[in-house]
Amino acid sequence: MEQGKRHIAILGSTGSIGTQALDVVRQHRELFEVELLTANNSADKLIAQALEFDANSVVICNEELYGQVADALQPEGIKVFAGMKSVCDLVAADNIDMVLTSMVGFSGLASTVAAIKAGKAIALANKETLVAAGSLVTTLAAKHEVPILPVDSEHSAIFQCLQGAGGNKLSKIHLTASGGPFRTWERERIAVARAADALKHPNWNMGAKITIDSATMMNKGLEVIEARWLFGVEPKDINVVVHPESIIHSMVEFADGAVIAQMGWPDMREPIQYALAYPSRLDLDNRKLDFATLSKLSFEQPDLDRFPCLSLAFEAISRGGNIPCAMNAANEAANAAYLKGKISFYEIADVIERAMARTPFIAAPDLDDIFATNDETYSRTNAEIWR
């Protein structure tokens, strides 16, 4: 990527990653030009962001809210569009160099593919894109010579560690996990835990979907698959280690046994700035590590009995094809149902396992197969949950 001012699009700008990305931009207005902001439903927040950052264009995906956004922004000379289709069209515009994909879930795939085809650098926060279509997306990015810069803290950590690798191949990834809000709970207590309990995440400030995924450890499962595609490692060479302090954000190991770790206080703005400004590092008003008061870093094995979703993710990636896509779709349906109190904690894993078992296997799915697998699995899973 060329140096100088970077012209960015933020897809999902009103969510947790989007707002933290704009906080990074706010501290470095001289480096970034905000070209495009998109949101699903948060019209008021989108309007405020577009005015503050003088965006060129915005998209409100919920078309019913178009009038409200257009009335507020068009008089200011900001172009306003509605609907998901507009996102796919606008990410390809000439005024954009980099697209931060911070939408939630599978819904981010179409616009990510559109941005890659248009040759835009991708700052990837939407991990479900790689879970559902990792082979297709990474192949497409290579074909268009588009960098995929990870925003997920663990993958940013691995990417940062690899800057010191001097071209040596890594032999293992140690993917750290906080263990989530139920790490120390007995299985019986987890079984009756409600979404409100899960939403009290100890370390990271995140959106609701990922916080539930963190409680089930499906988030770590999704990240294993994400790492597999971003770094070309076999699943057997990805070791998940629970590290409750969330200070080490992940590690890479080399053939000689040397391990390089990336550390920092848990704050998503650090990996966001690294992706947005890569290869530069920016001043950030975040909390810095103080090793004198950091009394210990601890590590433990993940408990697959209490957190079965992690095993399901390893099973999905080892089966390959369209199975990770089916797993992801079932998880999106189950996660939302758990948030609404419709199913219990361990029903999430049961629902996903059944969905994976009944998915007709496609070994080398194309993009149409991926969309079909997602849609069919999502609606069948919802029908099962809400019947």
CB 74 within 8 Å of CB 80: yes
Tokens found for residue 351: 């629902």
CB of 175 to Mg ion, least distance (A): 9
> Which runs of consecutive H residues, i.e. helices, occur in the chain?
16-27, 43-53, 66-73, 84-90, 109-117, 127-143, 153-162, 187-191, 195-198, 208-216, 218-231, 269-277, 308-319, 323-339, 345-358, 367-386
Near Mg ion by CB under 5 A: residue from 33, 97, 152, 213: 152
Stretch that binds Mg ion, among 151-159, 171-179, 248-256, 342-350 (CB under 5 A): 151-159
CB of 155 to Mg ion, least distance (A): 7
Tokens found for residue 232: 């070309």
CB of 109 to Mg ion, least distance (A): 19
Q: Is 270 one of the binding residues for Mg ion (CB under 5 A)?
A: no
What DSSP state is assigned to residue 8? E
Which amino acid type is present at position 16? S
Q: Which residue's CB atom is positioned nearest to Mg ion?
A: 152
CB 34 within 8 Å of CB 6: no
CB of 40 to Mg ion, least distance (A): 21
- Measured between alpha carbons, how far is residue 10 from residues 30, 78, 117, 329, 345 in Å? 17, 15, 17, 24, 33
Within residues 272-291, the interface with Mg ion by CB under 5 A covers: none
CB of 280 to Mg ion, least distance (A): 22
Site string for Mg ion, 109-148 (x = CB under 5 A): ----------------------------------------
Stretch that binds Mg ion, among 154-162, 235-243, 291-299, 351-359 (CB under 5 A): 154-162
Number of residues binding to Mg ion, judged by CB under 5 A:
3
The Cα 95–Cα 33 span in angstroms is 10
Q: Which is nearer to Mg ion, 120 or 127 (CB)?
A: 127
Q: Which residues contact Mg ion (rule: CB under 5 A)?
A: 152-154
